[in-house]
Structure 1
Amino acid sequence: MMNINEVRKLIYKHGEKIGLPYDSKLYPVFSSTGNVFSDGGTIYISNNEYHYVIMERGKENKHYRSLDINDILYPLFEGITFSLASKYELKNRSEKEDPRKLLWSKQLELLGKIDPLFKERCQKEIDSILIIAPYKKCN
């Protein structure tokens, strides 16, 4: 099991692959004490488990825990790449295309740079969304 400093280094290494600067606010806070901050994401290790907690307005929104660091890294980078891809889509929006198409394409590209398995996992999630809500036809 990695310690919190090794986890931080791994996350920054992955962030570097997608051009995310070390001082980006998209990174979580790393807690060596297990304290969770009142807003945003916090990563800590407790009882030989990795934890990734997302807080919004002082309330726990999501809490991922696992013995496998990839179970923490995937939701972290799924969120980070979604944010980056959303900004990219907004700058490159086409009125002729469902905005999700460009957004998800960029997100998958970024996730693939981090880990091909993350890209594959995200693609499956997108495919399940498209079954329920297919791409819109734009004029």
Structure 2
Amino acid sequence: MTKTITEIQTIVNQLAEKINAPSYLLPTFSSPIGDATPNIEVDNSGLYNYVISERGNEYERKLTSDLNELLYWIFSSVSFSMACDYELKNRVEDKDCRRIIFEKQEELLGILDKKWEEKERKEHLSILVNSPFDDLAGLRATYCGELRAKGFSEAEIDKLAYEKYPE
């Protein structure tokens, strides 16, 4: 049976407490803010809608009849934001930031549901197929900035940066 918006909000709040998710990361429920904060709706056919809109433009709408899927969508987003905040506070200069972000996000989702953790791990692995970890990217970017400040051309900057910090 389809849950009401109030019931969904209660479940989301209970899950958020388990991982100490800040309330500002949680979606709205049937009253979109319009600032790209996800909004949760239940339509007339009983489908759960996960909607992202900004300034009156809808950018994403995902529909499901599966409450667990909706909750995964919500907490995939929430845990990603939390993981990014964690990485920023625990940055390692010579480590691809995604290593920390992905690990933390999977850990947070695992607290809520082991299947969500595994699902997110598979998502991360698929991302890495086309965009593998690059542990020197941060150092390379800093070095590029230093070279740019010294007036080197972009072609020279790329050449020097990749010589010093290869992929």
Same fold at TM > 0.5: yes
Residue identity (%): 39
Residue 45 (structure 2) pairs with residue 44 (structure 1): no
Distance 1:56 1:71 in 2: 23
Retained in 2: the 8 A contact 1:41–1:52? yes
Instruction: Kindly indicate which of the two structures has a greater share of residues assigned to helix.
Output: 2
Q: CA deviation at 1:85?
A: 0.4
Q: Report the AA paired with residue 4 of structure 1.
A: I
Deviation readout 1:99-130 (Å, 9 max, x if unpaired): 10001110000011111111111111100111
CA distance in 2, matches of 1:36, 1:49: 17
User: Is the CA contact (8 Å cut-off) linking 1:81 and 1:111 kept in structure 2?
Assistant: yes
Q: Distance in 2 between matches of 1:10 and 1:116?
A: 17
Aligned length: 134
TM-score where L is the length of structure 2: 0.75
Structure 2: gaps of 5 or more residues: 137-164
Q: Which runs of 5+ in 1 are unaligned?
A: none
Equivalent residue, structure 1, for 2:144: none
Matches within 5 A, 1:115-126: 115-126=113-124
CA-based RMSD of the aligned residues comes to 1.5
Runs of 4+ with deviation above 6 angstroms: none
* Distance (Å, rounded) in 1 between the aligned partners of 2:111 and 2:59: 27
- Listed as ranges, the matches of 1:1-139 within 5 Å are 1-21=2-22, 24-31=23-30, 36-39=32-35, 40-46=37-43, 47-138=45-136
Specify the structure having the higher radius of gyration (Cα): 2
The whole-number CA distance in structure 1 between the counterparts of 2:98 and 2:46 is 38
